């Protein structure tokens, strides 16, 4: 049986199966973080953290 490769989630930093998350450019967000982000309100204190993590995607891309 083929087992999916693990990808490092840019939000929580954990390694999760690559088929259980979201790939944006060359970055990966695991399914649980993706769900949390979707449910996180803009007014939530965790929201800036997610935005910050997401920005790293574009930082990586521009370097």
Q: Smaller CB distance to Zn ion: residue 1 or 26?
A: 26
Least distance to Zn ion, CB of residue 48, Å? 17
Instruction: Please pick, from the candidates 7, 28, 30, 53, the single residue that binds Zn ion as defined by CB under 5 A.
Output: 30
Rg (CA), the chain: 12
The yes or no reply on residue 33 touching Zn ion (CB under 5 A) is yes
Residue 9 sits at φ, ψ, to 5 deg, of: -70, 130
Question: 4: which residues sit within 8 A by CB, 6+ positions away?
Answer: 17, 18, 19, 20
Token reading at 30: 């695991």
Per CB under 5 A, 11 contacts Zn ion: yes
Residues lying near Zn ion in the complex (CB under 5 A) are found at: 9, 11-12, 30, 33
């Amino acid at each position: 049986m083929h087992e999916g490769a693990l990808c490092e989630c840019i939000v929580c930093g954990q390694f999760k199966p690559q088929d259980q998350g979201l790939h944006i450019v060359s970055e990966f967000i695991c399914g649980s973080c993706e769900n949390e982000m979707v449910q996180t309100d803009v007014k939530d204190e965790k929201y800036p953290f997610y935005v910050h993590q997401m920005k790293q995607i574009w930082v990586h891309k521009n370097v």
